[in-house]
Amino acid sequence: MTNISLIQGNITTADVDAIVNAANPVMLGGGGVDGAIHRAAGRALLEACKQVKPVNGIRCPVGEARITSAGQLKARYVIHTVGPRYRIDEHPEELLRSAYRNSLQLALENHCQSIAFPAISCGVYGYPMDEAAEIALGECSKEVYQSLAISFFLFSQSDLDVWQSVCQSLKSK
């Protein structure tokens, strides 16, 4: 996992090719990380999101990802992904894994060398931090993604501690 770093900080300040947004299915902003990214990126991000064609009002289904320009962020792109709602959506593990996988694939397809993730689904969607970290780190450490510099921006010291612990246990397996 030499290409993966864990950082306590604000993802909107990440100096990377792509920032991943823990979006909602309509992709028009919201609370938490989604709201913070939209505020930092400015109106241009909202306008870019509006260009993504909705199907039945949904621009990005759970587990999928979409890419837009990044507005005023340092990043070139924002990759929007919708994680599962824990204990509500069926098969949340696979949906969360898919959200990470689809985000990483979009980064590779768009020639990104670096990508920053939040802890997808760990806020109001209620995913337990340790379970989410195991899924995220497991997916991101696959050989196919070794060319990407992957950063996880975690909101609090306690979140960072959980991810570091999971990272250590995965390394020792």
Name the 3-class secondary structure at 95: helix
**Six-digit token string for 37:** 């990214």
Write the CA distances from 53 to 41, 84, 90, integer angstroms.
20, 21, 25
Does the annotation mark 17 as catalytic?
no
Please give the torsion angle defined by the CA atoms of residues 54, 112, 93 and 13, in that order, rounded to the nearest 10 degrees.
Answer: -90
Q: Which of 15, 17, 34, 159 is catalytic?
A: 34
Return the HEC string of 33-74: HHHHHHHHHCHHHHHHHHCCCCECCECCCCCCEEEEECCCCC
Which residue numbers are catalytic?
A: 34
